[in-house]
Chains A and B, each alone.
Chain A
């Protein structure tokens, strides 16, 4: 089976370049997703669960480092960056390699050699990446959403984020479910994620983010599957394999 690869790069020409070079240097790789920003990269990762991700560090939305942190140990990460300021730290924290832009063919070959050697082994855990104090991107304290604006007919409803039981993705919209009502907002769940407090709102599925304080119980369906039961809602929310570790000891 071919190795599945995700690429995240915000500049079109650099994206094109990396794709072409990979096609030449590693024809047997299967590119499953080409993301244009950090949010797409994370969403694409959840959708396709690639084995390898190439992440630009400076991107709109989630930064490459933030995406790698979320990926944790679920894929091999190669950073691509114009400047090695953060990459060196990232490399220390378990990335397979980092490539300096513009990527040159010989350097890519070297990285791919390293990568192929590592593929057989489980990926290193990048989950602590941003806890490494030097790795944090300067001046990017994430701004938390306090209110969600949902239009209902002619009215605009203001929803306190804390009151939300869970968010569910509905293509380009997001379903916002509260104890007594629900609303549809015109913003993709992947773009909403960055504004939510990760301590309180857990992503349990590519399309679901749940308010932990509203979780009544988690039920094991079989060895792989789990479902979250939310207080104040009759819906049962499936937990995808990537996230079952959240509920294990």
Chain B
């Protein structure tokens, strides 16, 4: 009969353990657990931060079955040994009292150490609470120990309290400290580790964000190339010119090839020289000019000495595309786009100006809020922090002026 109960109990325990490991490995498993105390326990595990959950899982897997029992026996033995030593020094305290107290301290120490180790971020936010909680636990242990000791010597509990209150308080306090000091130390060490780890994570996250924004830029450029209105209208224009036998057909094709080539090259690098970037803009604007005819006029102004200056790739094109999309295409008469680079001693200023209807226009979403500009801003922020800015404003007379200001970088990469 006992073996029956035992196998039932151990079966239940094993199932619970299995279930908790499953939840630690995959919090989604929580959904498949029936509501009840087991679900509530599992929910707490599932709510842990992923990294701590992974560590706890590794620990659980390591101390499963036999290793766990061996460890528990070791703890009991060490605690009991301490109790025997203490009995040798203070026989008047009673062996059973000491055994109980030592085991309570030992078990408490282990439990707290584990708690702090695995969820210090939750526990260590309030170290004072932790210490008070541990003292309270120690008091309960101390009182229990005193009760045990009293029973052993034939006193009632109250009598024992009356005679030994000072000893009990001192013992409780000592026991609390015995647990609190190592636990607090452990917490402090873990917290430092955690902070260091967090800093690494943040750095990595920053790197990830930069990579993300860069690939976002690439995706946008890729999208701009195959954007149906751009692609099909351009191909239609090429086809029309070719069918007429117009020499412009070859020229437009050449511009389209130059644009696609240059944009592929830009996509591959995070930075480009202004010379290369302006060549890309030129190719793009030539294509648009062939399509829009008299409705588009443009100028590109890049001083000779700035050709080798590097800037983040794909940004100017985004601004020029915006100018076409919001400034020229919706305008009945068309308009003009001016792109210029100006350098001071340490700063570079790039301006894209259009003569369109301006920011308040009805056409399209306001240019200041587009995804393209958000992407440019995010990349600038990651690359230069506050040292680079993008401002988009209404022009003095008409249209929109986008100004990209950033530190001047004359080194070629």
A positions within 8 Å CB-CB of B: 10-14, 16-17, 37, 39, 58, 60-61, 82-83, 100-103, 138-143, 191, 194
Contacts and interface: CB of A to CB of B under 8 A. Distances in A.
B74 interface: no
A82 B228 CA distance: 6
Contacts of A82: 228-229, 231-233, 236
Nearest to A190: B332
25 contacts: A11-B291, A11-B293, A13-B236, A14-B236, A37-B332, A39-B332, A58-B229, A58-B329, A60-B330, A60-B331, A60-B332, A82-B228, A82-B231, A82-B232, A83-B229, A101-B233, A102-B232, A102-B237, A102-B239, A102-B240, A139-B363, A139-B365, A140-B364, A143-B362, A194-B362
A142 B362 contact: yes
Contacts of B241: 13
Given A11-B292, A143-B362, A102 B329 contact: no
Contacts of B343: none
A194 B332 CA distance: 12
Contact of A139 (B231, B329, B332, B364): B364
A127 B293 CA distance: 33
B362 A102 contact: no
A44 to B, nearest CB: 14
Identify the 4 closest CB pairs spanning chains A and B, nearest first.
Answer: A102-B236, A143-B362, A83-B228, A82-B232
Interface string B272-314: 0000000000000000001111110000000000000000000
Given A17-B239, A82-B233, 4 more contacts: A12-B291, A13-B293, A14-B291, A140-B362
Contact of A141 (B243, B295, B362): B362
B49 interface: no
Given A16-B240, A17-B240, A11 B233 contact: yes
Interface in B225-263: 228-229, 231-233, 235-237, 239-241, 243
Contacts of B365: 138-139
Contacts of A101: 232-233, 236
A138 B229 CA distance: 15
Contacts of B228: 82-83
A139 B231 CA distance: 22
B361 interface: yes
A68 B169 CA distance: 92
Contacts of B239: 17, 102
